[in-house]
Structure formats: C-alpha cells, structure tokens
Structure 1
C-alpha cells in the first residue's frame, strides 16, 4: 500500500470517528431535551444512533459525557482551516486586522451547523441545570473549549499561547459568545445569531475607539522581547 493510500484510509477512519462521535452527542442532547438526563438509558441512546454499547464506551465513559460532548471535536475541520488561513497575510508578531471579523464568521458558521434546534437547546439547558452533578463537567467542558480556541488562535496568528494578546483575545471571544449564545436561545428571541453577535462586537469597537490610551502603556510593551543575559545589565 502506498503512503498516499494509507493516509487516505487514515483520513477516512478519522472522519468516520468524528461523525460517529458527533452522532452520539447529537442524539444524547436530543434525548436529554425531550426526556431529561435520567429519562433515557445508554442502550436507548445506542439504539437511536445505531451502534453497540461497546462502541459507545469507546467514545464516552458515561452518558453525561456524551450529553456535554467535547468542544474540540465539535469544531469542523473546514471551519478551523478557514479561520487559521485568515491570518496568513498578517505581519509576523502582530495580530491580523481581520481577526475580529473572521471570528464572527467562524462563530456564526459553528452556530449554523449545530444539529439541535433552539427549542431543544433551551430544553437541554434546563435539563442539565437541574442536575448539580453535571456542574463540574460543564466547567471542564468550558476549559476544553477555551483550550481549543487558544490552539486555533496560536496557529492563526503565529504567537505563543501565553502571549498577552492571545490571552486577551481568548477572553474577549469567550465573553462575546457567552453573551450572544444565551440571548440567541431565549424563547422570545427572533433575531439572527449574527445580528446579536455583531451588535456586541460593534459596541466593543466603539468603546475601544473612544478610549484614551492607558498611561504608561504602549503597544511595543506587549511585543516579545529578546532574552537578556547578566552581561547586558548595567
């Protein structure tokens, strides 16, 4: 078997693995929205997806893990690649000018691909909120989501994850989605997710544009500085 054929088979297996995992997550969330966390069994979930119990436990240790899912696995490869490619034209060591606009497109595309309706998401949130034991898993999922986004940012911008600009961007993006998501899933909401997210982004842009520079802080201070040896010190 040639290397290209082997790589193609590996790629196909990986795509099938991701598709199966997402099918399990989608079914688990749909069943939770309809029946609550305790309203269905792993066997019923497997029947819905068309897999065996053994296959289920190859992906998840428990039903609750399937309900919450894995944020890193829920980012489609094509969307990740498109987002990363948007930073290729930026100057080395600086943030790309289109970063904020590209993030809005990325977040909207993710929302558009969600295999769950607004009504199901609302029911899912209510069901999960009624289960205190899931709180730690939710927090762990939030950390995973932040790590996945940080990996995308570092790949796109060519800056280390600990760079203050990457950390600030990560915090900002998290705040934007944490505000836009609940607003979009409100039962009475009729506005598009892009409209809600763009409204918040525009407000932040106006805030930063109107703000005076902070005293004693200049952009070069955020740039990476070369290491200093003892002989360079006065």
Structure 2
C-alpha cells in the first residue's frame, strides 16, 4: 500500500466523533425547544433565544432544522426514509417486507422519543400547539411518498404500481396511531411508565406496534 495514502488518511475515529458531536447538538436543540415550548408556548421564544441556551449560532440551527416546529417535533433536515435505504433494501437483513417496514418505522419513531420528554409531554405539546399537528401532517405526507419510493426500489416495482403507495400509507398510519394511542395509555398507567427512560418507552411502543402489524397481517392470510 502507498505510504502517503496511509499518512493522508483521516483517523478512523474522526468521522464517528464528528457524528457524535452533531447528534449531541441536534438532541440539545430538540430538548431545549421542547422545554421552552412547554414553558412559554411556541410563540413565546425566538430561535435566537433557543440558540443562546444551546450555545450555537442561528446559522447552526438552520443546519439542523427548518423551523421551531420541526425542532420541537424532532424532524431534522436531511432526516428521511432515504437515510435508512441501504438497510431497508437489503433483503438478506430482512427477507420479509413486513419485517423491513417494522424496523424502518420503529427507527423513525425513536427520533421522537430520544430524550427525557415522555410521550405524555409530547402529547401535551401537540394539544397546546395546534400548528405542531399541522406540521406533523405535512411531514407524514412527505414520508408517505419517500416510503413508497423505497418500497418500489426494494420490491422492484414500476412507478405506476399502486401497491407501494397503499402499503406506505397504511403502515405509516398504523405507526402514528400506535404512537398517539401509546401516549394516551402512558398517561393512564401511573408514575412508573411516566418516569421511565426513553428506551423503556420505545420498547413498549415497539411491542404495541408489532402487535398491530400482526393483526393487520391476518387480513392477508384469510
């Protein structure tokens, strides 16, 4: 091997460190945006105030999010179904389409439950700020189109094949419905789940989501 190639190569840990730092900044923006929204309302603080609390510039904020709404929801720029395209389209990892879709959708839901804000906190924010619901609907429609494109790619379907659109819309609806159902349920289960870690919340959500998909799969076995 050429010695200069070895010398010029970046340290193996440089990329992972950069990604780790970027993820830390993104989570901090989400966390502070949610806290400020809970305390003051979405219109009660500016992006500049949010950036000051996080310790980043306004320009940095817009490298991560398109708006305050997106920061509260946790919908970062560049974060789409396409991010997980390689794993999703790898049929050796998930031979069945249903398993691949389950893994993809649960991974996406993790972005909404990756800090100390529980599903109950998230629901309270959505109820108090209707614009968040409107933005979530826009993002959901966008994700439908992206997911349908991934399904067509994985299954080798033509653009005119409606199977991908129907499956994308159905599974996305089940995921969102499970999230909000789980949110209401977590509000009623007492202090234990309310104070549980994001990992526990995600485990409970995944179990509920997989159960719904099992029910749905029975439709195609009749």
TM-score (norm 1): 0.65
In the alignment, which residue of structure 2 is the partner of 1:171?
169
Q: Deviations over 1:54-90 (max 9, x none)?
A: 322444454234334536516695x5533332x258x
1:183-194 correspondence runs (5 A) = 183-186=181-184, 187-188=187-188, 192-194=204-206
8 Å Cα contact 2:80/2:146 also seen in 1: no
Give the unaligned 5+ runs of structure 2: 194-200
Give the unaligned 5+ runs of structure 1: 90-95, 211-234
Q: Quick check: 151-160 or 161-170, which moved more?
A: 151-160
Q: Is 1:198 aligned to 2:203, yes or no?
A: no
8 Å Cα contact 2:34/2:72 also seen in 1: yes
Decide which structure has greater helix share.
Answer: 2
Q: CA deviation at 1:177?
A: 0.9
Q: CA deviation at 1:17?
A: 5.5
Q: CA deviation at 1:163?
A: 2.3
CA distance in 1, matches of 2:74, 2:171: 20
Say if 1:120 and 1:80 are closer, same or farther in 2 by CA, change over 3 A: farther
In the alignment, which residue of structure 1 is the partner of 2:79?
73
1:79-118 correspondence runs (5 A) = 80-85=85-90, 87-88=91-92, 98-112=96-110, 114-115=113-114, 116-118=117-119
In the alignment, which residue of structure 1 is the partner of 2:121?
120
CA distance in 1, matches of 2:136, 2:145: 14
Number of residues of Structure 1 aligned to a counterpart in Structure 2: 199
Q: CA deviation at 1:185?
A: 1.0
8 Å Cα contact 1:34/1:120 also seen in 2: no
CA RMSD of aligned residues (A): 3.8
In the alignment, which residue of structure 1 is the partner of 2:42?
37
Say if 1:74 and 1:30 are closer, same or farther in 2 by CA, change over 3 A: farther
Q: CA deviation at 1:141?
A: 1.6
TM-score (norm 2): 0.67
User: Greater Rg, structure 1 or structure 2?
Assistant: 1
